[in-house]
């Protein structure tokens, strides 16, 4: 496939979905199918032949699978010269570095990895990063459906990293906490020095609160996804953008701007 064909805006974007029978994958298949500028050319799930996506001529693959398989999928996409939009969680800095090294050998390929494709969630993370330097205390409470495999969520981990960076830049030390006697887990997990609490309950989809505190006041920044449809505008935005963004893009922020 030539560069011209790949980037011709008049041609529908040929999209393959990995994890197509999952909660997110099924929603992505519906959204791609309904988008006038996209063709859904491959739906792949566990046990299916991954080469279905390349045989079908997918230019962009969307991955919503599981943290234990996503790196193999992504390596395969990059090797095949297929652009990738990834929502699957589990991306540590080491994993991102490996993806960058694979991309060095395929300089035309674009990969967008976003911990959360909800526009409101992206803004919530931006607002939290902005607020972080003004408050001595901060904790994150994320709430999800009970079938979620990972805890804390990718969104909470990413938010904690952003807050930690802002606190370091502002010269803030650890949040004050006199706890001496703790039942293990009572104070949550510590991600880059930020306490993160993960709640799992039937009826929830994906929710997060960032609670800031300083003398005499608190600030709560909250985002709620009540339906997986909330992630679709962000996913489609990334599918449209990724062919023209060679290399690795982490988060939706650059695409929204
Ligand atoms: N970035 C974002 O905005 C969002 C990210 N997520 C993340 O997306 C991932 C998937 O979430 P859900 O759809 O709720 O999970 P799910 O369990 O419903 O779906 C995962 C699907 O991947 C399939 N799968 C497993 N191994 C595979 C392989 N080797 N090849 C192809 N398919 C394979 C499974 O059979 C399953 O159908 C999770 O990591 C979750 O945290 C979920 C919602 C939003
Ligand atoms: O598993 C989910 O459902 C979600 N996963 C992502 C995460 O771990 O942050 C995004 C969103 O919270 C929904």
CA atoms within 13 A on the CB side of 172: 21
User: pLDDT tens-digit profile of 186-231?
Assistant: 999 999 999 999 999 999 999 999 999 999 999 999 999 999 999 9
In a domain? residue 68? yes
% helix, strand, coil for the chain, step of 5:
35, 25, 35
Find out whether the beta carbon of 152 lies less than 6 Å from any atom of ligand 1.
no
Q: Are residues 70 and 146 in the same domain?
A: no
Q: What is the pLDDT of residues 211-222, one digit of tens each?
A: 999 999 999 999
Ligand 2 centroid, distance to 99 Cα (angstroms): 21
User: Which domain, by its residues, includes 162?
Assistant: 119-177+185-226
Report the catalytic residues. Answer: 144, 148
Which atom of ligand 2 is nearest to 152's Cα?
Answer: 8
pLDDT of 148 > 50? The answer is yes
Predicted model pTM: 0.95
**Rounded distance, CA 130 to CA 207, Å?**
20
Residue 67 lies in a domain: yes
In ligand 2, which atom is closest to the CA atom of 153?
Answer: 8
Same domain, 157 and 134: yes
| Residue 52 lies inside a defined structural domain of this protein | yes
pLDDT of residue 8: 55
Would you state the pLDDT for residue 16? 98
Residues 218 and 236 occupy one common structural domain: no
Report the chain's mean pLDDT, rounded to a whole number: 95
Tens digit of pLDDT for each residue in 167-186? 999 999 999 999 999 999 99
pLDDT band, residue 10 (cuts 50/70/90): confident
């Amino acid at each position: 496939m030539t560069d011209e064909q790949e980037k011709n805006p008049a041609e529908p974007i040929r999209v393959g979905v990995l994890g197509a029978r999952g909660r997110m994958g099924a929603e992505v298949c519906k959204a791609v199918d309904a988008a006038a500028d996209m063709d859904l050319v491959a739906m792949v799930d566990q046990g299916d032949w991954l080469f279905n996506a390349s045989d079908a001529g997918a230019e962009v693959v969307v991955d919503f699978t599981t943290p234990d398989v996503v790196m193999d999928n992504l390596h395969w996409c990059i090797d095949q010269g297929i652009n990738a939009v990834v929502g699957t969680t589990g991306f540590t800095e080491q994993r991102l570095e490996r993806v960058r090294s694979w991309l060095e050998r395929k300089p035309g390929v674009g990969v967008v990895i976003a911990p959360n494709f909800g526009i409101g969630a992206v803004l919530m993370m931006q607002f939290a990063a902005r607020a972080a330097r003004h408050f001595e205390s901060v904790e994150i409470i994320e709430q999800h459906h009970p079938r979620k495999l990972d805890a804390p969520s990718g969104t909470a981990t990413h938010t904690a990293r952003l807050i930690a960076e802002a606190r370091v830049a502002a010269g803030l030390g650890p949040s004050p906490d006199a706890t001496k006697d703790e039942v293990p887990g009572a104070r949550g997990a510590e991600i880059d020095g930020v306490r993160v609490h993960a709640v799992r309950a039937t009826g929830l989809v994906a929710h997060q609160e960032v609670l800031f505190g300083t003398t005499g006041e608190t600030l709560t920044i909250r985002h709620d996804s009540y339906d997986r449809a909330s992630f679709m505008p962000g996913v489609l935005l990334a599918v449209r953008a990724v062919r023209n963004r060679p290399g690795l893009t982490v988060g939706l922020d650059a695409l929204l701007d």
